[in-house]
Amino acid sequence: MLKLDNKTALVTGASQGIGEAIAKLLALQGARVVVAARNEEKLKSLAAYIDAGGGCARPLALDVSQPETFNERLKSLPADFGEIDILVNNAGITADNLLARMSLDDWERVLRTNLTGAFALSKEVIRGMMKRRWGRIVNVSSVVGMMGNAGQANYAASKAGLIGFTKSLARELGSRNITVNVVAPGYIETAMTESLPEASREALTGSIALKRLGTVDDVAAAVLFLASEEAGYITGHALNVSGGLYI
């Protein structure tokens, strides 16, 4: 079940956190994995870790906020990694502030990385998927894109945008046997959440039905499922992995 043999996956934001866990799990299930982000050193050690465990990975230095570089960066991959079957748009940033204090630059930076990056990279890889009549795109959004969050207007807009983007693309690409879905994590234990003060962490945990923060592996499991053959009749769906923070 959920084997990805003979598939090539590209995971953005794979240098740490949720993306790293997704890359490791997809590789464990048999996929060749291109691990992409800006920090090439971290990517090289992740690829070496995956290879040493019997998997198959290649690092790819890629800044998702620079779409004009995508074509050339993808062409730099070895031929057996060049045809992307599974794209996981996971790279994301925050630049939180109340709207009154949010700069246009913070707004545009977050939208460009979280939303425009996913648009442009999807555009780059769908040609091959359409030709092969098989593809999986999984966009990592956030429950914040559904609930909103004070101080995160830019981030919430980018994550809500990803959901609309996903649903539209699912309708465009369904006839080519390409599915497009969202995984929307709640609060996950990562660098993004470790700076939370203890009191906020307790209040937060109280509002989660399962009474704990999620793990990167909780999110990776959902991505694996949506990337698998077995999820072939699911498209345009937003799967919350929030422990019941948002129901």
Catalytic residue numbers read 155
CB of 28 to ligand NAP, least distance (A): 18
Please report, in angstroms and rounded to a whole number, the separation of the first and last CA atoms in the chain: 28
228 interacts with ligand NAP by CB under 6 A? no
**Cβ closer to ligand NAP: 63 or 108?**
63
- Give me 108's structure tokens: 């545009």
18 interacts with ligand NAP by CB under 6 A? yes
DSSP 60-91: EE--TT-GGGHHHHHHTS-HHHHS-SEEEE--
Candidates 49-57, 63-71, 166-174, 225-233 — which segment interacts with ligand NAP by CB under 6 A? 63-71
Among 191, 197, 199, 233, binds ligand NAP (CB under 6 A): 191
How many Å apart are CA 30 and CA 103, to the nearest integer?
44
167 interacts with ligand NAP by CB under 6 A? no
Q: Which helix (H) or strand (E) holds 180?
A: strand 178-185
**Cβ closer to ligand NAP: 92 or 161?**
92
DSSP 148: -
Of 202, 69, 92, the closest CA to residue 139 belongs to 92
How many Å apart are CA 73 and CA 81, to the nearest integer?
12
- Give me 43's structure tokens: 């990517």
CB of 8 to ligand NAP, least distance (A): 19
Candidates 27-35, 127-135, 172-180, 187-195 — which segment interacts with ligand NAP by CB under 6 A? 187-195
Report how many residues bind ligand NAP under the rule CB under 6 A. Answer: 28
Yes or no: say if 16 and 191 are a contact pair by the CB < 8 Å rule: yes
Cα 69–Cα 74–Cα 75 angle in degrees, nearest 5: 105
- C-alpha 228: how far from chain center: 15
Interactions with ligand NAP, residue window 82-121 (CB under 6 A): 90-93, 113
16 interacts with ligand NAP by CB under 6 A? yes
Among 29, 122, 179, 190, binds ligand NAP (CB under 6 A): 190
**Cβ closer to ligand NAP: 13 or 135?**
13
17 interacts with ligand NAP by CB under 6 A? yes
Of 179, 182, 183, the closest CA to residue 235 belongs to 179
CB of 66 to ligand NAP, least distance (A): 8
**Cβ closer to ligand NAP: 85 or 218?**
218
Yes or no: say if 162 and 182 are a contact pair by the CB < 8 Å rule: yes
145 interacts with ligand NAP by CB under 6 A? no
Residues making contact with ligand NAP (CB under 6 A): 12-13, 15-19, 37-39, 62-65, 90-93, 113, 140, 142, 185, 187-188, 190-193
